[in-house]
């Protein structure tokens, strides 16, 4: 049976990715363990203990599905057996933003994911990572 096992990360939209990485690293002791770039954004994942902080610097032309909702973009929940978790949530009446679970090779080795909104419009992503991060 599937399970939601943690808040995997908090995501912050960064105005300047290098500046944000340096701030969280130098001021709070976060460790950078992944950084990638795509055609729509720059991305970094940092760790502090078992907590993770995702930084995204959207490129100006990006009109992403997170919108401009302030600095916190979404809550990422780590799940085991995403198919089972999604089926259980659908049975409880949860509406997802897509019918299918996405399967991606990036970032950080890949993941399977699906998105939904919480009751106040907050963006929630369910992630089953292809490797431990």
Contact of 8 with 74, CB cutoff 8 Å: no
Residue 114 confidence class, pLDDT cut points 50, 70, 90: very high
Beta bridge partners of 33: none
Mean pLDDT of 47-73: 70
DSSP string across 41-104: EEEEEEEETTEEEEEEEE-TT---TT-S--SEEEEEEEEESHHHHHHHHHHTTPPBSSSS-EEE
49-53, 83-87, 116-120, range with the lowest pLDDT: 116-120
**Can you give the pLDDT at residue 69?**
45
32-41, 59-68, 94-103, range with the lowest pLDDT: 59-68
Mean pLDDT of 5-9: 89
How many residues are recorded in the chain?
A: 133
Two tokens, residue 77: 């929940």
**Can you give the pLDDT at residue 9?**
92
**Can you give the pLDDT at residue 56?**
87
Mean pLDDT of 8-29: 86
**Can you give the pLDDT at residue 122?**
77
Helix or strand (DSSP H, E) at 18: helix 17-28
- How many whole angstroms separate alpha carbon 115 and alpha carbon 96? 6
Portion of the chain with pLDDT greater than 70, in percent? 90
How many independent structural domains does the chain possess? 1
Average confidence score pLDDT of the chain: 85
Two tokens, residue 40: 């729509």
Mean pLDDT of 77-81: 91
pLDDT at 112 exceeding the cut of 80: yes
What domain range includes position 41? 3-129
CATH number of the domain enclosing 121:
3.10.180.10
């Amino acid at each position: 049976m599937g399970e939601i096992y943690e808040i995997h990360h908090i995501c912050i939209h960064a105005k300047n990715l290098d500046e944000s990485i340096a701030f969280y690293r130098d001021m709070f002791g976060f460790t950078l363990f992944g950084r990638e770039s795509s055609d729509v954004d720059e991305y970094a994942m940092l760790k502090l203990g078992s907590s993770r902080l995702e930084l995204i610097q959207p490129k100006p032309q990006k009109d992403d599905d997170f919108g401009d909702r302030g600095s916190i973009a979404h809550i990422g929940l780590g799940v085991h057996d995403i198919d089972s978790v999604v089926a259980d949530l659908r049975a409880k009446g949860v509406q997802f933003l897509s019918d299918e679970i996405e399967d991606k090779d990036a970032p950080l080795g890949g993941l399977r994911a699906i998105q939904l909104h919480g009751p106040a419009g907050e963006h929630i992503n369910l992630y089953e990572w292809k490797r431990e991060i």
